[in-house]
Amino acid sequence: MKQVLTILLLCCGYLTAQDKYGAVRKNLFSGNTAMAYRVLDSIAAKEKVADSSIYYTALCALQENDWKKAKEQITKLSKAFPAFGETDFLIGMVYYLREDYGRCTEAFNRVLKKNPTHYKALYNRAMAYGKAGSYAFAIEDLGAYLLLQPNDGAAYYARAYWLEFTEQYQAGVADYEKAIQINPKNFDAYIGLAFCWSKLNDRAKACEVIERCIHEGSQIGADIKNIYCR
């Protein structure tokens, strides 16, 4: 319904440039990159060279894993707007897509040095640390991120996942439960939670978790039930 409304407003020409950037953000957040591009295309020619237009075009490219196009937009942004605050964040995301986690974290370090509450940089630096095997740093960053975004179930799941790797199973239980509370259909969280309970030598609770998972409609839970429920 929101996407239909956005289309109608665009067709009627009611949106200002800032309104359209807001529409781009909403569509990016919902994963509708095609619509985000359509909104960007509707922006007046004089606005297309603005820092926001270039920035959101780069974000669209990143969402489509088109790091080459993203890099082109970042180069344009750096040359035209050298003081633009989000350029290093975009650079970090490009390196993340290229699995160059060293340069990725360096770029996010620059972002967070200027703005310690840049939650997107915190989250993505955590993912880079985790991918690189620096689990303690990943857990630390996710803790800082969750202070800023306490209702993000995916972040609780990610932290629980890295806690598993450091054998902090009790802490993992708490985070997996929080992830499930926020999204009861996060079946991966149930599987991780059952694993943590099994590592804590409580097979009854592990089995209970799998039963909850199956109740929510998970086929995977049904497939592995015999592992935890005997």
pLDDT tens-place string over residues 155-206: 999 999 999 999 999 999 999 999 999 999 999 999 999 999 999 999 999 9
Instruction: Please state, in angstroms and rounded to a whole number, the distance separating the CA atoms of residues 29 and 117.
Output: 20
Burial status of residue 34 (CB atoms within 10 A of its CB: 0-12, 13-18, 19 or more): exposed
pLDDT given for residue 18 in this prediction: 63
Query: Strand (E) positions, the chain?
Result: none
Q: For the chain, what percent of residues have pLDDT higher than 90? A: 70
Averaged pLDDT score across all residues of the chain: 89
Q: How big is the chain, counted in residues?
A: 230
One digit per residue, the tens of pLDDT, for the chain of length 230 reads 344 333 333 333 334 556 888 888 888 888 899 998 898 888 877 777 788 889 999 999 988 988 889 999 999 999 999 888 899 999 999 999 899 999 999 999 999 999 999 999 999 999 999 999 999 999 999 999 999 999 999 999 999 999 999 999 999 999 999 999 999 999 999 999 999 999 999 999 999 999 999 999 999 999 999 999 98
pLDDT given for residue 192 in this prediction: 97
Instruction: Please state, in angstroms and rounded to a whole number, the distance separating the CA atoms of residues 65 and 135.
Output: 25
